[in-house]
Amino acid sequence: MVRSGDRNRPGDIARRVAGRVSRHDAPGDPPREAYRDVFNRETFRLPRDQARETARAWFERYPKAAYMTRVESWRLMDDGRIEFTMRRLPSAD
pTM value surpassing 0.75: no
Question: Which of 44, 66, 67 has its CA nearest to residue 55?
Answer: 44
pLDDT per residue over 12-70, tens digit each?
Answer: 766 776 666 555 555 555 555 555 678 999 999 999 999 999 999 999 999 999 899 99
Query: CB atoms < 10 A from the CB of 30, how many?
Result: 8
C-alpha angle 77-38-71 in degrees, rounded to nearest 5: 30
**How far apart, in whole angstroms, are the C-alpha atoms of residue 18 and residue 92?**
22
Q: What does DSSP assign to residue 78?
A: T
